[in-house]
């Protein structure tokens, strides 16, 4: 298995962050006089970054305008998520065992998320610190978010692996498109926030039913 590396998405792939993200979004909505969404509705709001999330959760006719209005709502959301980010978040079942196996086999591992970089690092430090991560990247100013391949290619360079030898593991169409755009193996997970049909439609080579199935692909 030498020469291989695994780059993981974070939310919906390694960590079940759904309720904490939803509670934060609903707190913002309620502070502006709008009803919150059911938690499951946030499955479709998550994945393209916090800026899109804070605009998408509002009713169409009250969607914040780009610029200062969105910036202000984003600041509110970041404050709410800063209070909620570790209330209920947990690893998905089987993730710890998979990471143990990858570590034992000395396969480089990394994270590439569209979550803001500071919160990405916080979550990895809080919930995934039992494992040595070769690279952890969230959304950063001036760098295009997934599905643009620039972050994935940077992650591959940082783990010392050619893109074609990297397996990009994620739960959304954005993740699969990122893998395809970067020339990586696109591996979808069935336990995340989006449907298997969406993953297949976006180019997934394989769909994992449980985390340990990844090992048989390497």
Q: What is the pLDDT of residue 1?
A: 31
Q: Are 133 and 154 in contact (CB under 8 A)?
A: no
Q: CA-CA distance, 139 to 137, in Å (whole number)? A: 7
Phi, psi of 104 (to 5 degrees): -60, -35
Which are the catalytic amino acids?
9
What's the confidence (pLDDT) of residue 3?
72
Distance of CA 36 to the CA centre of its chain: 22
The C-alpha angle 160, 15, 180, rounded to 5 degrees, equals 45
Low-confidence spans in the chain with pLDDT less than 70: 1-2
Helix segments in 85-129, DSSP class H? 95-104, 117-127
pLDDT value of position 158: 95
H or E, element range at 168 = strand 166-170
Q: What is the pLDDT of residue 121?
A: 98
Instruction: Write down the pLDDT at residue 2.
Output: 44
Using only the alpha carbons of the chain, give its radius of gyration: 17
């Amino acid at each position: 298995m030498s020469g291989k590396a695994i780059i993981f998405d974070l939310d919906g792939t390694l960590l079940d962050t759904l309720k904490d993200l939803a509670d934060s979004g609903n707190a913002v909505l309620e502070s502006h006089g709008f009803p919150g969404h059911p938690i499951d509705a946030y499955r479709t709001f998550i994945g393209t970054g916090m800026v899109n999330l804070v605009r998408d959760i509002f009713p169409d006719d009250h969607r914040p305008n780009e610029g200062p209005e969105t910036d202000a709502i984003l600041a509110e959301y970041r404050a709410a998520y800063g209070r909620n980010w570790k209330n209920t978040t947990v690893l998905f079942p089987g993730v710890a065992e998979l990471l143990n196996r990858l570590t034992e086999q000395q396969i480089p591992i990394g994270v590439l998320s569209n979550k803001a970089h500071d919160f990405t690092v916080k979550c990895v430090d809080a919930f995934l610190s039992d494992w040595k991560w070769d690279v952890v990247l969230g959304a950063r100013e001036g760098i295009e978010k997934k599905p643009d391949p620039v972050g994935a290619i940077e992650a591959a360079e940082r783990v010392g692996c050619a893109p074609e030898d990297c397996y990009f593991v994620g739960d959304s169409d954005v993740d699969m498109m990122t893998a395809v755009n970067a020339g990586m193996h696109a591996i979808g997970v069935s336990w995340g926030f989006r449907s298997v049909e969406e993953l297949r439609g976006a180019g997934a080579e394989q769909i994992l039913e449980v985390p340990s199935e990844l090992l048989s692909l390497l």
